[in-house]
Structure 1
Amino acid sequence: MLVNRIRYRNYAAAAGILLSVTSFNATAQSANQAWVTDELSTYVRSGPTDGYRIIGTLNAGEQVEVLETSGDYTRVRNSDGNAVWVLSNELQETPSAVEQLPALEAQVEELTAELDGINEAWEQRVSSMTETLEVRERRIAELEASNQELDSQAEQSRQQVRGLQARLETQEEDLLMRYFMYGGGVAGAGLLVGLIVPHLPRRRKKRDRWF
């Protein structure tokens, strides 16, 4: 469905934004800050070599202030304000996962809320488009039904016209036949009169006599 594809695309975009924000946060840290690696708690010494005694530990993910580097060791200041030496490879330049987690969770929650708003807007828009499409489809169906009805009425009218034309032609033929019969009757009567009249006895004319 279109809405689901949009939702997946938005989530992918959110993941990209989240990674970008994380990278930006990492590069934006001050150069004199570092964090103990997340994998372990590390021992700290009083000097920059293995020969110095261990004086304590730093917790995994703990933030420290970098003071100086000497050989394989880095001198840092912990959260208690103590300056100690720790192996440089046990420090990292990006915040620990423990510290990043609350900020990342807040960012994820914010992005999720934003995406939900975007998805809701898209769903409303798609719903509106669907309703508009349904209205148009109903209108098209109504017009098609009306067109079919008009075609049916037109066909009925054509049939009526053909019937009237047939009746008119029949009446014309009947009238013409009557004219022929009437003319034939008149001609026959005239012929009959012409045959009979010569055979009728003629009346003699009276002659006037003078005495």
Structure 2
Amino acid sequence: MRRVVLGAGVAGSLLLGAPLANAATDRWVADDLTTFVRSGPTDGYRIVGTVEAGQPVELLEVQNDYSKIRTASGDVVWIPSADLQDTQSVNARVPELSARVKELTAKLDGINEEWETRVEDMKTGLETRQARIEELEQASNSQSAELAQARSKMQDMETKLDTKKQDLLMRYFMYGGGVAGVGLLVGLIVPHLPRRKKKRHGFL
């Protein structure tokens, strides 16, 4: 005998009291309660077993409130139509859902790893740029210091040049003054120097 925990009620599309004209249709035993199966389509027939909740079965025929089904093991029995559903049971979908969860988890892990890699690359890039900026700032500071030093040297040279110009000008004035003084002195002295007397030549 098979046991089952059955769930939601069967869909209202089942035709009660009339045999199915078409081929067997897939159905699933409901998930929320255990149901007994009988040997005939009424409560008066004896119970011949149970079926597992969520078990897939083939619907062969419907009479009154019962459905004739073929179980996975091949047994043909009758079950209350309300204990069947036309959608796959939760139990039957668990492996599929678990596989889907694993697939999505793997994708999420991949996305997470990819994102972490991108973030790490961005951090590395930012650190590289920051280092370059600091290097340029240091170079700029060094160049600024060299420029300031060069300007200071230029000012010193300009100061020295001005001093030399002044010294040269003073020397020029002093030299010119000396020359003028000597010339004046010569001009004053020369007229007062004794002149040599000329000899007169007589005739014998």
TM-score past 0.5 threshold: yes
Once the two structures are TM-superposed, the CA of residue 71 in structure 1 deviates from its matched residue by 5.5
Q: 1:191 aligns with which of 184, 188, 193?
A: 184
Equivalent residues in 2 for 1:125-164 (5 A)? 125-164=118-157
Relative distance call for 1:54 and 1:144 in structure 2 (3 A) is farther
Identify if the C-alpha distance between structure 1 residues 115 and 208 changes in structure 2 by more than 3 Å, giving closer, same or farther.
Answer: same
Distance in 2 separating the partners of 1:210 and 1:175: 65
Length-normalised TM-score, structure 1: 0.69
CA distance in 1, matches of 2:195, 2:36: 173
User: Counting helix residues as a fraction of each chain, which structure ranks higher?
Assistant: 1
Question: What is the TM-score normalised by the length of structure 2?
Answer: 0.71
1:98 paired with 2:91, answer: yes
SS for the counterpart of 1:167 is: helix
| 2:102 pairs with 1:116 | no
> 1:25 maps to which residue?
none
Corresponding residue for 2:9? none
Identity over aligned pairs, percent: 49
Deviations 1:64-100 (A, max 9, x none): 2122345654332233412314134x32222222222
Superposed CA RMSD? 2.7
For these two proteins, the number of residue pairs brought into alignment is: 178
Over alpha carbons, which structure has the higher Rg?
Answer: 2
Deviation, structure 1 residue 183: 0.5
Give the ranges of 4+ consecutive aligned residues of structure 1 lying more than 6 Å apart after TM superposition. Answer: none
Q: What residue is the counterpart of 1:86 in the other structure?
A: 80
**Over residues 148-194 of structure 1, what are the superposed CA-to-partner deviations in whole Å (9 max), with x where a residue is unaligned?**
21221122112111211211121011101110111011112212222
Q: For 1:148 and 1:72, how far apart are their aligned partners in 2?
A: 95
Report the more deviating stretch, 137-146 or 169-178: 137-146
- Measure how far apart 1:129 and its partner are: 3.6
Measured in 1, the distance between the counterparts of 2:95 and 2:161 equals 97
For residue 37 of structure 1, what is the aligned residue in structure 2? 30
Matched, 1:65 2:54: no
Tell whether the 8 Å contact from 1:33 to 1:93 is kept in structure 2 after alignment: yes
Structure 2: unaligned runs, 5 residues or longer:
1-23
